[in-house]
Amino acid sequence: MKRRHFLQQTSTYVAGSLLAPYMLRASKKIAPSDKIRIAAIGINGMGWADLSAMIKNPEADCVALCDVDKNVLDKRVAELAKNNIKVAAYGDYRKILDDKNIDAVIIGTPDHWHCKIMVDACAAGKDVYVEKPAGNSITEVNVMKAAQQKYSRVVQVGQWQRSQQHFADAVAFVHSGKLGQVRLVKAWAYQGWMKSIPVKPDGPPPAGVDYKTWLGPARTRPFNENRFHFNFRWFWDYAGGLMTDWGVHLIDYALLGSQATVPVSIMASGGKFAYPDDAEETPDTLTTVYDFGKFNVLWEHATGINGGPYGRDHGIAFIGNNGTLVVDRGGWEVMPETQDGKQKMDAVSLQKRSDNGLDLHTKNFLGVVKSRKMEDLKCSIHEGAHVATVCQMGNIAYKTGKKIYWDAAKEKFTDADANKFLTAEYHNGYTLPRV
């Protein structure tokens, strides 16, 4: 499913069917002691989608919202109120963390805020559902892992494909060995819906927007509409472009299927080839090669193009001696290799998606909040940090323009220029959280 299509579905749900989960909750009696009191921080996009999915479950009780854009905050409060869900509203996430009655928080902010808020939330005794990518640098995700361990909180990363059965089935098939030796794994995101972002002048923030807080630890710059809300993804101050936006979903399964840890070396080439003069900073076209010793993982992304490998605009392909398995959000199939006119293995026709990943992922989080069985999480912070690290490696290779090598023992690159990008810069009096 294309991101735009997914977000459109989310908008439709939000606008018209939030009543359905509320009616479900009302129809099932849950003792107050069994309720999980939830607050959402950052509710314009995926934070709102996460909350909407979570409150379908009768044990989930939304009690507070937080956003630095009062326009968004008022809108979401009103939408909940229409369905008899009354919540407190805050512009400062710290007020949510101060509330001892709140059990868990959803973090749906831009990426550059994930680490700080997650660490603060864990220290305040809250369980956390944090949007992907886990953090905005390799050092940040390591800090986030340490915080989870220190405070023993439930932390789920929003890589909801981890909860979908057809992805699990595809990985199981790869692990069966039927494909033969897998020498190359491809993962890609071709995003035809992403058009050029026209350059716009700086200006004052919209009324009701606490822009200083939105910037937080990011570099101080004049307000620009292009950097705000959804499009923050395409600017290095706040995120890592398509590599960390879609890459954490797709490279995640490339790693799971190949049972890979960290690459030996990484090289990347690309740039702003489609829209060289538009506003975005991150590359609109990128090819990244990860060398894992006995096989390679190849990442590709391109904006403004839908025609990706195997006729899919996104996916993962495990290319083996006997055949190739291709999986995307719609399903998976196997295409056999042919030798001397004979197939080396049986084909597997398209096995279609049968469930809703986001619903299942948020339900899984709630279940672990109640059970405290961390091993049952579908995507713990440790797993989310792993793929975020690998994706950041790709971006670092692109930024340096070099083939870079990873020293797994020292957890850093062998190249000094590459190591400069291990930690995101913090500004405006903020510092990297200490655990």
Residue 17 is predicted with a pLDDT of: 43
Q: Round to whole Å and give the CA distance between 22 and 247.
A: 34
Beta pairing partners, 36: 60
Share of the chain above pLDDT 70, in %: 92
Residues 69-106 pLDDT 10s: 999 999 999 999 999 999 999 999 999 999 999 999 99
Task: Say whether pLDDT at 19 is over 90.
Answer: no
Residues 301-317 pLDDT 10s: 999 999 999 999 999 99
Residue 28 is predicted with a pLDDT of: 59
225 and 235 Cβ atoms separated by less than 8 Å: no
Residue 34 is predicted with a pLDDT of: 86
Task: Say whether pLDDT at 426 is over 70.
Answer: yes
Taking the CB of residue 6, how many other CB atoms lie within 10 A of it?
15
Residue 29 is predicted with a pLDDT of: 62
**3-state class percentages of the chain: helix first, strand second, coil last, to nearest 5:** 40, 20, 40
DSSP 255-313: HHHHT----SEEEEEEES-S-TTSS--S-SEEEEEEE-SS-EEEEEEEES----GGG-S
Whether 3-162+358-385 shares its CATH topology with 164-354+386-419 is answered no
Beta pairing partners, 189: 301, 314
Residue 411 is predicted with a pLDDT of: 95
Q: Round to whole Å and give the CA distance between 81 and 361.
A: 25
How is the chain split into domains, by residue range?
Answer: 3-162+358-385, 164-354+386-419
Least confidently predicted of 9-23, 34-48, 349-363 = 9-23
Q: What is the CATH number of domain 164-354+386-419?
A: 3.30.360.10
Task: Say whether pLDDT at 10 is over 90.
Answer: no
Task: Say whether pLDDT at 14 is over 90.
Answer: no
Residues 380-415 pLDDT 10s: 999 999 999 999 999 999 999 999 999 999 999 999
Taking the CB of residue 193, how many other CB atoms lie within 10 A of it?
12
331 and 353 Cβ atoms separated by less than 8 Å: yes
What is the layout of strands, in order, in the sheet containing 348-352? 348-352, 331-336, 323-328, 314-320, 182-191, 296-303, 285-291, 265-271, 404-407, 412-413
Q: Does domain 3-162+358-385 have CATH number 3.30.413.10?
A: no
